[in-house]
Structure 1
Amino acid sequence: MDKAALQQQVLERLAGDLLQAEEAVRAAHETATHEENIAENKYDTLGLEASYLATGQARRAEAIRAAMATWRQFRPGPYDAGLGIQRGALVCLVDAGGQQQQLFLGPAGGSMTLVSGAQRVQVISTDAPLGQALLGKCDGDEVSIQVGGSRQQFEVLRVL
């Protein structure tokens, strides 16, 4: 798997998310400032609600821009067994039921699934609980995280 290609997919996905967020900002701003939405009494809050929505969408767009800047500067290196899993690693995990999953540990803006060849790759941040648990681990190590009321266990099959 090519880490640079995965990184490019992340940037493309973030760019699409940014376009959607910016369009949502424009639409909410237009609604908030439209002359038909001027409050006629204290119970007429459509314009106010739209302005809150526009503010939230603007914050989301700014967060996406920050994630894009972080991903542009990110340079995933080769796996170093002496350091164990670090940011930029491609990790194959297997759970107790034998189900395998591919993970790409990124710097920010995770929670997306990419496709590399025939494989699905889940992007997670090293700030996520599983990302934190993986740091420093090597092939064959076990990883355990608490999710809700249950504990999930994984074995690291391979790292690139």
Structure 2
Amino acid sequence: MDKQALLEDVITQLEQNVAALMSAMEKTVDAATNEETVPEHKYDTLALEASYLAHGQAVRLEQIKNDIALLRKTQVKAFSSQDRIKLTALVDLEDSDGVVNQFFVLPCAGGVSIKGMTIKVVTPQSPLGNALLGQTLDDEVTVTIGEQPMHYAIINLI
């Protein structure tokens, strides 16, 4: 599997998110500054709410741009069956029901699903990504989601 192509797909998805977020932010800024949203009384908070939303969108936009810049600098590494899991590892996990899922360990962009595939991005900041770091093939990891422990066996490492 070409992990560099997978990484490029993640970057492309983030760039699409930037475009969509910029469009949404323009509309929100317009709503916050439009003459029609000028408060008529002290309980009319439409413009204030729009300005809070625009600020949140601007913060998210900056975060995504930083993620893109970091991913562009990320060097994809090849892993052997004897290596420990680190950034850019592509890991197959089998849960206790025998279901196999693939995870791509990256420094950011957690939660992104790679289009056309069932590969999900996890980061070291996530419980699963943190549990995977330093593990090797055939190790088992347990992650508690809510109050439910989830058990996974590492069955492949690329």
Cα offsets for 1:32-86 (capped at 9, x unmatched) = 1111111121111111111111111111101110111111111121115565000
Counterpart of 1:126 in 2: which secondary structure? coil
How far apart in 2 are the matches of 1:109 and 1:120? 16
Between 137-146 and 76-85, the greater mean CA deviation after superposition: 76-85
Quick one: percent identity of the two aligned structures? 35
Partner residue, 1:151: 149
1:24 aligns with 2:24: yes
Counterpart of 1:85 in 2: which secondary structure? coil
Q: Return structure 1 stretches of 4+ with deviation > 2 angstroms.
A: 80-83
Partner residue, 1:72: 72
The two structures have a TM-score, normalised by structure 1, of: 0.94
Partner residue, 2:38: 38
How far apart in 2 are the matches of 1:86 and 1:146? 21
Partner residue, 2:124: 126
How far apart in 1 are the matches of 2:115 and 2:33? 41
Tell me, yes or no, if the aligned pair for 2:143 and 2:150 is still in contact at 8 Å.
Answer: yes
Q: Mind listing any 5+ residue stretches in structure 1 that lack a counterpart?
A: none
Q: Mind listing any 5+ residue stretches in structure 2 that lack a counterpart?
A: none
Tell me, yes or no, if the aligned pair for 2:80 and 2:157 is still in contact at 8 Å.
Answer: no
Partner residue, 1:140: 138
Tell me, yes or no, if the aligned pair for 2:106 and 2:124 is still in contact at 8 Å.
Answer: yes
Partner residue, 2:56: 56
Q: CA-atom RMSD, angstroms?
A: 1.3
The two structures have a TM-score, normalised by structure 2, of: 0.95
Counterpart of 2:118 in 1: which secondary structure? strand
Cα offsets for 1:92-146 (capped at 9, x unmatched) = 1101110000110011011011146xx4211111211111111111111111111
Partner residue, 1:92: 92
Counterpart of 2:154 in 1: which secondary structure? strand
C-alpha spacing 1:52/1:103, structure 2 compared with 1 (3 Å): same
Tell me, yes or no, if the aligned pair for 2:113 and 2:119 is still in contact at 8 Å.
Answer: yes
Aligned residues: 158
Partner residue, 2:9: 9
